[in-house]
Amino acid sequence: MIRVADHGIYPRLRIDGGKLQHNAACVLHECRSRGVKLTAVTKGTCAHPEVVSALLKAGVKSLGDSRLLNLNRLSELAPEAELVLLRLPGPRSAVGTVRHADISLNSEAATLQALNQAAAETGVQHGVWLMVDVGDLREGVWVDDVASLARSAKGLSNLQVKGVGTNLACYGGVIPSTDNMNRLLRARDTVAEVLGYQPPVVSGGNSANWNLLCSGDTPQGINNLRIGEALLLGQEAVQRQPIEGAHRDVFSVETEVIEVKKKPSVPTGETGQDAFGQLPTFEDRGDHLRAIVALGRQDVDPDGLRPEMEGVEIIGASSDHMILDVEHAEAAVQPGEVLSFVVTGYSALLALFTSPYVDK
Q: What is the DSSP letter of 331?
A: S
Q: Contact at 8 Å (CB) between 306 and 342?
A: yes
Sign of CA dihedral 225, 230, 236, 238: negative
In the list 227, 292, 351, 358, the residue contacting ligand PLP (rule: CB under 6 A) is: 227
Q: Is 81 one of the binding residues for ligand PLP (CB under 6 A)?
A: no
Distance in angstroms (rounded) separating the CA atoms of residues 195 and 241:
40
In the list 94, 237, 291, 292, the residue contacting ligand PLP (rule: CB under 6 A) is: 237
> How many CB atoms within 10 Å of residue 310?
9
Q: Is 66 one of the binding residues for ligand PLP (CB under 6 A)?
A: yes
Distance in angstroms (rounded) separating the CA atoms of residues 256 and 357:
13
The 110-149 site mask, x for binding ligand PLP (CB under 6 A), equals ----------------------------------------
The 25-64 site mask, x for binding ligand PLP (CB under 6 A), equals ----------------x-x---------------------
| Position closest to ligand PLP via CB | 228
Residues that bind ligand PLP (rule: CB under 6 A) add up to a total of 13
What's the closest the beta carbon of residue 154 comes to ligand PLP, in angstroms? 24
In the Cβ-directed half-sphere of 297, how many Cα atoms lie within 13 Å?
A: 7
Q: Is 211 one of the binding residues for ligand PLP (CB under 6 A)?
A: no
Q: Is 226 one of the binding residues for ligand PLP (CB under 6 A)?
A: yes
Distance in angstroms (rounded) separating the CA atoms of residues 246 and 24:
9
Q: What is the CA radius of gyration of the chain?
A: 23
Q: Is 86 one of the binding residues for ligand PLP (CB under 6 A)?
A: yes
Distance in angstroms (rounded) separating the CA atoms of residues 314 and 320:
14
Is 43 an annotated catalytic residue? yes
Q: Is 206 one of the binding residues for ligand PLP (CB under 6 A)?
A: yes
Distance in angstroms (rounded) separating the CA atoms of residues 230 and 274:
34
Among residues 19, 43, 154, 262, the one annotated as catalytic is 43
